[in-house]
Amino acid sequence: MGPGAPPTAAVFNRREALDRFRRTRRRTRALFDLLDPAAYLHKPIALRNPIVFYEGHLPAFAVNTLIKKGLGRPGLDEHLETIFARGIDPEQEAAAVARGNPAWPDRGTVRAYADAADALLEDAIANAEVERDDHPLLRHAQAVWAIVEHEEMHQETLAYMWHRVPYEWKTKPAHYVTVPPRLRDGPRASRVLVPAGVATLGTPDGEPFAWDNERPSRREDVAAFEIDTLNVTNADFLRFVDAGGYREPRYWRPDDWAWVQEDRVAHPPFWEQSDGAWHWRAMFERVGIEAAAAWPVYVTWAEANAYARWRGERLMTEAEFVRASAGSSPVNVDFARFDPVPVGSASGVSEFGIYDLVGNGWEWTADVFAPFHGFTPLPSYPEYSADFFDGDHFVMKGASPVTARGLIRPGFRNWFRPRYPYVYAAFRCVKTT
Ligand code: AVJ
Ligand code: FE
């Protein structure tokens, strides 16, 4: 521990860890139960694995990490723990096809493995020495939190994959309402000044767990800036579409413009057009765009950046996000819903009067995902971040409707490629004063 690092790390609470593990597993099962078994071998997103992979990946990752690497005990099934070890995220679809797929086991086999893994993991969390100072994976019970947070992140991956699955294969949960009636109008769009100040990026020592990319945390001076109090909505974005924003190269970086042309991109990835009308593709049904007009628009980084340029403005930096979000409480997170709510939820207003920075959709930032100075790979998952410091991923902050509460902390950093169209990512514009 370096000078100045606080000596007090939170005390490990076995009961709490076991509860969180069980709750996480239960939610994962509930997510799989939303799908018709016929979807099991389906691959909703070309760059990702078929659905079967994820049901095996979660328990296999946990066994590999906590049981084998952490406790040094034997696993359950060497073959399954190899094919399910890691997801792929290849640059090109062609690479995914070329690499080929293993012959995936049938669902009964995967479920039996998951049940056995759950029993093994619960017993380890309840009884084994999962917290000890003399092993890097077990310091502050690191591997326990890593497997839980890894699964929580994948719950979001599952949700955005499920989003692309045909509606016939999904069952809407009882009582779920895609567009709840609005009780009152939200606040009007406005702009506030955030005065110059200091932001702490990442997660300070002394927290029970943080991913490697959050550390060491650092303080950064932030110059004064103006920021939209609300996210850009579908209605706002429609004006950009109607103004020909997707046909004007000067709003796009060269690679993004090439993508717009080659893939004929002409609207946000959650919009669909039929009979000349726009619709919003919600999780369980399609709704007219009017119903979603006040929802944040979910777009790629490239589209968010183009919109900001069209307005003569820019996306916020990560440090500006941290500064602006002081005092925000989460809005529409932790699977409260599978779709957004209108922007401007009163409960989520920050100290500076800015809405929904944490929840209802991640916030795109202008920052390329990169390590903080002094970065060290996490012993329990050294490739977690390091493989993505390639200059082609951008930082997202905050949370979406399907971000587990356990992941919501000011220092958490998420990242995706600039043209990856599946994530629940919103944005707003800022400008330097
Ligand atoms: C941090 C959400 C970008 O989904 O690619 C899961 C999380 N890494 N298993 C991803 C992750 C390995 C990662 N993100
Ligand atoms: Fe994973």
Q: How far is the CA of 350 from the centre of ligand 1 (A)?
A: 28
pLDDT at 100: 61
Cα–Cα distance measured from residue 158 to residue 29, given in angstroms and rounded to the nearest whole number: 11
Mean pLDDT of the chain: 94
Rounded Cα distance, 316 and 236, in Å: 18
pLDDT tens string 136-193: 999 999 999 999 999 999 999 999 999 999 999 999 999 999 999 988 888 999 999 9
Q: Point out the ligand 1 atom lying closest to the alpha carbon of residue 388.
A: 3
| Ligand 1 pocket test, candidate residues 153, 384, 415, most atoms within 8 A of CB | 153
The pLDDT value recorded for residue 232 is: 98
Residue 105: closest CA among 135, 88, 80? 80
Cβ of 86 less than 6 Å from ligand 1:
no
Measured in Å, residue 335 CA sits from the centre of ligand 1 at 18
250-270: pLDDT as tens digits = 999 999 999 999 999 999 999
The Cα 433–Cα 164 span in angstroms is 41
| Distance set, CA 197 to CA 30, 348, 353, 401 (Å) | 44, 22, 16, 30
| pLDDT at residue 91, rounded to an integer | 47
Give the residue ranges of DSSP H helices in 38-131.
51-62, 78-83, 93-99, 107-127
Mean pLDDT of 361-387: 98
* Structural domains of the chain ordered from first start: 14-169 (1.20.120.450), 191-432 (3.90.1580.10)
Ligand 1 contacts CB of residue 154 (under 6 A)? yes
Residue 153 CA to ligand 1 centre (angstroms) = 6
Whole-number pLDDT of residue 90:
44
Q: For residues 83 and 96, which has the higher predicted lDDT (pLDDT)? A: 83
Q: Is 295 in the pocket of ligand 1 (CB under 6 A)?
A: no
Over residues 421-427, mean pLDDT: 98
Band of residue 95 on the pLDDT scale cut at 50, 70, 90? low
What are the distances in angstroms from CA 257 to CA 262, 264, 353, 393, 428?
Answer: 9, 10, 35, 17, 21
Nearest ligand (C-alpha, residue 385): 1
pLDDT in tens, 26-75: 999 999 999 999 999 899 998 888 999 999 999 999 999 999 999 999 99
pLDDT at 4: 44
From 157, 211, 369, 394, give the residue whose CB has the most ligand 1 atoms within 8 Å, as the site to mutate: 157
**Does the pLDDT of residue 5 top 50, yes or no?**
no
Strand 286-288 to strand 197-201: parallel, antiparallel, or no bridges (unpaired)?
unpaired
Is 15 a residue whose pLDDT tops 80? yes
CA of 151 to the centre of ligand 1 (A): 10
Residue 88 has pLDDT above 90, yes or no: no
Per DSSP, the chain holds a count of helices (H) and strands (E) of: 11, 12
Mean pLDDT of the 374-387 span: 97
Residues 60, 81: Cα–Cα separation, whole Å: 5
Model confidence band, residue 2 (pLDDT cutoffs 50, 70, 90): very low
Task: State the average pLDDT over residues 280-284.
Answer: 98
Whether the CB of 414 sits within 6 Å of ligand 1:
yes
